[in-house]
């Protein structure tokens, strides 16, 4: 039960490095998107409320904040956590990969809810929010594809 054998065990148990590495890259995209959206939330110059372009309608809606903070900020934290877990997993920590899978599931579920909010409650879609949904769904698919329960 030396640390070396433990690490070796975890390595061999780790399904493959490619999944965590891919997840880390996708999480970085999501992180960048969330950081952009967070900054946008605070600095956005007003634009007209448009029937055609929905982004501002979404970002200025009552649903864009939770507990006084922009949703995008929570997104940035979640993506940073997902990235960190993926990096740790890429270096062989299987437990972190399982945590990643749980987080990816939660993020994908919340993204699904946000798509519902945009479609059904606001009636407009924001491409940067949809990108975030895409990245979180991708993270979840990566987590599933790696079969973390093995």
Nearer Cβ to other proteins (12/48): 48
- Cβ atoms of residues 82 and 104 within 8 Å: yes
Structure tokens at 95: 């437990």
Q: Which stretch binds other proteins (CB under 8 A): 57-65, 102-110, 126-134, 135-143?
A: 57-65
Q: How far is CA 19 from CA 55, 72, 105, in A?
A: 32, 25, 15
Q: Is 83 a binder of other proteins (CB under 8 A)?
A: yes
Residue 94 CA to residue 76 CA, distance in Å, equals 23
Q: Is 43 a binder of other proteins (CB under 8 A)?
A: yes
Q: Which stretch binds other proteins (CB under 8 A): 80-88, 98-106, 107-115, 129-137?
A: 80-88
Residue 65: beta bridge partners? Answer: 70
Nearer Cβ to other proteins (25/109): 25
Q: Using alpha carbons, select from 137, 77, 71, 128 the residue that is nearest to residue 106.
A: 137
Measure the CA angle with vertex 33, ends 131 and 37; round to 5°: 105
Nearer Cβ to other proteins (56/146): 56
Least distance to other proteins from the beta carbon of 140, Å? 21
Nearer Cβ to other proteins (71/90): 90
Measure the CA angle with vertex 36, ends 32 and 37; round to 5°: 120
Please list every residue from 6 through 35 that binds other proteins, using CB under 8 A.
28, 31-32, 35
Q: By the criterion CB under 8 A, which residues form the site for other proteins?
A: 3, 28, 31-32, 35-36, 38-40, 42-43, 45-52, 54, 56-57, 60, 62, 76, 80, 83-84, 87-88, 90-91, 93, 121-124
């Amino acid at each position: 039960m030396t640390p070396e054998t433990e690490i070796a065990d975890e390595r061999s148990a780790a399904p493959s490095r490619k999944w965590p590495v891919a997840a880390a890259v996708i999480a970085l995209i999501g992180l960048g998107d969330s950081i952009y959206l967070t900054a946008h939330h605070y600095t956005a110059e007003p634009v007209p409320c448009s029937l055609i372009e929905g982004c501002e309608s979404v970002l200025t809606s009552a649903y864009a904040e939770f507990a006084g903070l922009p949703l995008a900020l929570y997104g940035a934290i979640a993506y940073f956590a997902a990235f960190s877990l993926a990096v740790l997993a890429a270096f062989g920590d299987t437990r972190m990969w399982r945590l990643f899978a749980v987080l990816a599931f939660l993020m994908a579920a919340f993204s699904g809810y946000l798509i519902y909010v945009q479609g059904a409650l606001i009636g407009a879609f924001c491409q940067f929010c949809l990108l975030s949904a895409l990245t979180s769904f991708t993270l979840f698919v990566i987590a599933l594809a790696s079969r973390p329960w093995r």
